[in-house]
């Protein structure tokens, strides 16, 4: 127990900065919390990083004996932005300090072999990430990104590692609606050939969840030199890249590794794609029709059609 200034228990000291901030918020705002909110705050202050990372709001509510809505409301009252935001903050230090194989073992231990529970955890985290991303997506930045992509001579969609999925998805769907786009996922010396083809009238869309690689820094430099526009989709680097990119869009990554890293980037891409398509419905519909015709031609030849 730690004395926080009143007769109330708060959890044992933790090395995780996000949980330390939670404890400080509990100390500062204890007098403003309702009895049910105090129960939530006290429980969370005792938790380890793993206990918070791998639990849904429903899990926490059941453990505390309250509703999941009370859990979320308490975190918001404490100024922590909700459970998804707290997980994100915890994961920043937890993922750095704990080896990947250890995190994997902890994920498996937390979910156990309860298939219904596993399914629920995956869907819960996916829903939390998507809702957190939607709530924190800047509407003006989104509108600006749509305008830039719609006006681009070509979209240069860049992503490496797990971000490759989102980059390929964006480029593929843009081409299908009649917009010129290409995916680039190369690194090292080979990336120089791709950089040579970038033009002033192009728009770079970079998927950069949390680490700015040297290749990405060079892409920024090349785009600035040419005068090309850069849209960044990221999690941890929103503030850091605000001055370098023309538009920065927020897509929260997974705090646990339970759901796909590219999930929110793909969903955000879908929102951008639908918005771009709406600006020129005729073009989008026509190219969709052409795609259908070409697919039909590629099917097994009809009877009487010569094979080649």
Question: Could you give all domains of the chain from N- to C-terminal order, each with its CATH number?
Answer: 17-112 (1.10.10.10), 139-296 (3.40.50.10490)
Q: How many CB atoms lie within 10 A of CB 23?
A: 21
Instruction: Please give the pLDDT value at position 5.
Output: 38
| Opening angle at CA 71, ends 76 and 105, nearest 5 | 110
Which residues, including other chains, have CB under 8 Å from residue 27's CB and lie 6 or more apart?
A: 4, 5, 10
Q: How many CA atoms lie within 13 A of 122 on its CB side?
A: 12
Tokens of 9: 């228990």
Backbone φ and ψ for 230, nearest 5 degrees, come out as -125, 125
d(CA 282, CA 267): 24
> E strands, 140-273, where?
155-158, 181-184, 203-208, 229-234, 247-250
Instruction: Please give the pLDDT value at position 88.
Output: 78
Q: Burial letters for 103-116: b for 16+ Cβ neighbours within 10 Å, e otherwise?
A: beebbeebbeeeee
Provide the residue-wise pLDDT of the chain in tens; the chain has 308 residues: 333 334 344 444 456 788 888 888 898 989 889 999 999 999 988 888 877 887 888 888 888 999 988 988 898 888 888 888 888 788 765 555 555 545 555 555 666 667 887 888 889 889 988 998 998 899 999 999 999 999 999 999 999 998 999 999 999 999 999 999 999 999 999 999 999 999 999 999 999 987 888 999 999 999 999 999 999 999 888 888 888 899 999 998 887 778 898 999 999 999 999 999 999 999 999 999 999 999 998 986 766 555 55
Instruction: Please give the pLDDT value at position 307.
Output: 57
Instruction: Please give the pLDDT value at position 17.
Output: 83
d(CA 7, CA 4): 8
Please, which contacts does 186-193 make with residues 24 or more away whose CB atoms are closer than 8 Å? 187/160, 187/213, 187/215, 188/215, 191/215, 191/218, 191/219
**Helix orientation angle between 164-176 and 281-298, rounded to the nearest 10 degrees:** 100
């Amino acid at each position: 127990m730690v004395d926080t200034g009143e007769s109330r228990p708060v959890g044992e000291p933790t090395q995780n900065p996000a949980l330390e901030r939670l404890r400080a918020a509990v100390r500062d705002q204890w007098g403003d919390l309702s009895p049910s909110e105090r129960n939530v705050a006290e429980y969370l202050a005792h938790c380890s990083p793993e206990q918070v990372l791998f639990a849904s709001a429903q899990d926490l509510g059941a453990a505390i004996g309250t509703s999941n809505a009370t859990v979320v409301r308490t975190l918001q009252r404490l100024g922590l932005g909700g459970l998804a935001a707290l997980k994100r903050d915890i994961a920043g230090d937890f993922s750095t300090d704990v080896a990947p194989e250890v995190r994997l073992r902890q994920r498996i231990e937390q979910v156990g072999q309860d298939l219904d529970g596993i399914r629920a955890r995956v869907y819960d985290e996916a829903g939390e990430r998507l809702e957190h991303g939607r709530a924190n997506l800047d509407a003006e930045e989104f509108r600006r990104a749509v305008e830039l992509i719609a006006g681009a001579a070509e979209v240069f969609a860049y992503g490496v590692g797990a971000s490759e999925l989102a980059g390929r998805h964006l480029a593929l769907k843009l081409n299908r609606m009649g917009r010129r786009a290409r995916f680039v996922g190369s690194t090292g010396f080979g990336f120089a050939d791709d950089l040579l083809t970038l033009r002033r009238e192009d728009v770079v869309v970079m998927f950069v969840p949390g680490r700015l690689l040297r290749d990405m820094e060079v892409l920024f430099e090349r785009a600035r030199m040419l005068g090309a526009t850069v849209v960044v989709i990221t999690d941890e680097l929103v503030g850091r890249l605000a001055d370098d990119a023309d538009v920065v869009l927020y897509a929260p990554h997974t705090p646990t590794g339970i759901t796909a890293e590219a999930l929110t980037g793909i969903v955000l891409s879908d929102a951008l794609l639908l918005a771009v398509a709406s600006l020129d419905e005729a073009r989008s519909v026509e190219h969709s029709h052409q795609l259908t015709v070409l697919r039909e031609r590629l099917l097994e030849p009809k009877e009487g059609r010569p094979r080649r």
